[in-house]
Amino acid sequence: MTTAGPGERLPPALRTEALEQLLTERGLIDPKVMDGIITEYETNVGPLNGAKVVARAWTDPEYRDRLLRDGTAAIRELGFSGPQGEHIVVVENTPTTHHVVVCTLCSCYPWPVLGLPPSWYKDPAYRARVVREPRRVLAEMGLELDDDVRITVHDSTSEVRWLVLPERPAGAGHLSEEELVPLITRDAMVGVAKVTAP
């Protein structure tokens, strides 16, 4: 096991590995169970679920209305629920308003529709800066917004998690719900990117 010198901290990945090893040695966790949980969130519970929600909202106006009115219930209609998804509020990006999500305290995140949070979402720099200077942070992440687009930052908490309904891209109007799903990214549903047409 790698050790750090006095006053040094191991990188997060090494700290996680060391903690897992310690918990395994003491019989507190089963590595096979942990691997199963990780696989579940990477494959079955992840951004694909959120993409299905967005694609349905883009192709079914009644579902879109239900989603914006009661995100948790509308998401549950598609079979997506569980821990970290007890109360999800959905906000819609438009040509004049752009929503972006952060968790300033830790990394609260709607796992049932977005899977595991990306490392940048948990990074203290993102958590602090996107609140103070969202336009600049988004530009650094590759999303340039016009000056007349109003940016709203939503702070996820243990009580309320947020999901962004991105704008449907121009040129994708002819695509079916199934064809739209692969276009929709996790980053677009957090609000740090837009969905682009194929």
Residue 108 among the catalytic residues: yes
Q: Which of 81, 103, 119, 176 is catalytic?
A: 103
Active-site hit among 108, 156, 158, 176? 108
Can you tell me whether residue 18 is helix, strand or coil?
Answer: helix
Pairwise CA distance, residues 30 & 49, whole Å? 27
Task: Tell me how many degrees the CA angle 107-169-48 measures, rounded to the nearest 5.
Answer: 45
Catalytic residue chosen out of the listed positions 81, 106, 119, 158: 106
Q: Which of 81, 107, 119, 156 is catalytic?
A: 107
Active site residue 107: yes
Q: Give the Cα separation of 161 and 87 in Å (integer).
A: 6
Q: What tokens were used for 74?
A: 């509308």
Helices within 78-176 (DSSP H only): 111-114, 119-122, 124-132, 134-140
Residues in the chain: 198
- Reply yes or no on whether 119 is catalytic: no
Start-to-end Cα distance in the chain = 46
Tell me if residue 156 is catalytic: no
- Residues labelled as active-site residues: 103, 106-108
